[in-house]
A and B are shown apart, each in its own frame.
Chain A
Amino acid sequence: MTSPPTQRTNPLHLLAAFASGGILTLAIFVNGEAGRFGGAMFSSWLAHGTGTVVAILFLAVVWRGQRAAAAEATGKIGKAPLWAYAGGLCGAVTVMLTSTSVNSPLALAGTLALGLAGQVVLSLAADFWGLLGLPKRKLDLRDAGAVILIAAGSLLIILFGLGAA
């Protein structure tokens, strides 16, 4: 990246991220129902398979623009390293790990809470060191405050909010 990482975040981007969390809620619900029928592995396999088909359909519709954009991006940044294609492996292994812990005394709440901790830890490290080819970002007290408030609120919902008291 030639441009320095911008420190001011666009509120629309933040709103989009918030909305994508809502999309995730839907996906988790649908995939959870698929898991009730056929188990976690089947659910993940189905989601990745149908996802592949849908991605191909999307790409077919907008292929001309996508090809041009990809060529431009490769020209600017260079080809992606081979490991950049391994994101799907992470997702597949994630399902195996969570189906282990959901069926332990941790149950769903414990799995979500610990997963949240893992997410926060690695994203802090990723921004701090600029891991895996993405831009480094300065972290300050405001980030710490946001982490604490959002993690506390989420834990409250996961551990006490879902399910009747």
Chain B
Amino acid sequence: MIIPILAAFAAGLLVILSRQVNGRLSMSTTPLISSFWNHFVGFAFLTVVGLVIGGLIPANIAEMPWWIYTGGAIGVVFVAAGSWLITRIGAVNSTLLVIAGQMVFGVIFDLLRGAPVTIWAAALGVVLILAGMWLTQRKR
């Protein structure tokens, strides 16, 4: 059980490390150029890993809906935005507000598509998050 726990925690560390590293590249280039390198390097690496392990492309690829291919486009915008933001509002604020947006829009998204949501917990969670956001934006 210790391995999956460490893996999940390390994944969180890497999310921030990647935003920090991409942010540094964007300081010497632009957020969009940085986002390109992020995707290109990740793609090259995963292609190599996929070729070594094998079975990268599933047999049912033709049956996938077209919008499966939009994830990368959304990612380009997200990564560019992350680089732009971290150099302006810092790591803690970026992390907190991205998580806040992810959670609040996640709850709304699940409600809209009729996925099961436990209302009291989701609502209380959103209220706590909004309170935390209010703290981040107060003048010092």
Contact = CB atoms under 8 A, between A and B. Distances in A.
Nearest to A69: B30
A18 B124 contact: no
A118 B11 contact: yes
A134 B17 CA distance: 12
B124 to A, nearest CB: 6
Residue of A38, A110, A165 with highest tally of chain B CB at under 10 A:
A38
B109 A92 contact: no
A9 to B, nearest CB: 5
Contact of A161 (B33, B73, B121): B121
Contact of B95 (A48, A56, A119, A152): A119
Interface in A140-165: 140, 142-143, 145-150, 152-165
B20 to A, nearest CB: 5
Contacts of A156: 121-122, 124-125, 128
Contacts of B81: 16-17, 20, 23
A160 B71 contact: no
A57 to B, nearest CB: 9
Given A50-B69, A123-B95, A163-B116, A25 B20 contact: no
B91 A123 contact: yes
Would you call the interface of chain B mostly helix, strand, loop, or mixed?
helix
Contacts, number: 452
Residue of B11, B24, B34, B89 with highest tally of chain A CB at under 10 A:
B11
A153 B124 contact: yes
A88 B76 CA distance: 12
B18 to A, nearest CB: 3
Contact of B118 (A46, A126, A164): A164
Contacts of A69: 30
B94 A17 contact: yes
A25 B86 CA distance: 19
B22 A87 contact: yes
Interface of A: 1, 5, 7-11, 13-14, 16-31, 33-34, 37-39, 41-56, 58-59, 62, 66, 69-70, 73-74, 77-81, 83-94, 97-98, 100-101, 104-106, 110-111, 113-124, 126-127, 131-135, 137, 139-140, 142-143, 145-150, 152-165
Interface of B: 1, 3-5, 7-25, 27-30, 32-47, 49-50, 53, 56-58, 60-61, 63-65, 67-79, 81-82, 85-107, 109-110, 115-118, 121-122, 124-129, 131-133, 135-140
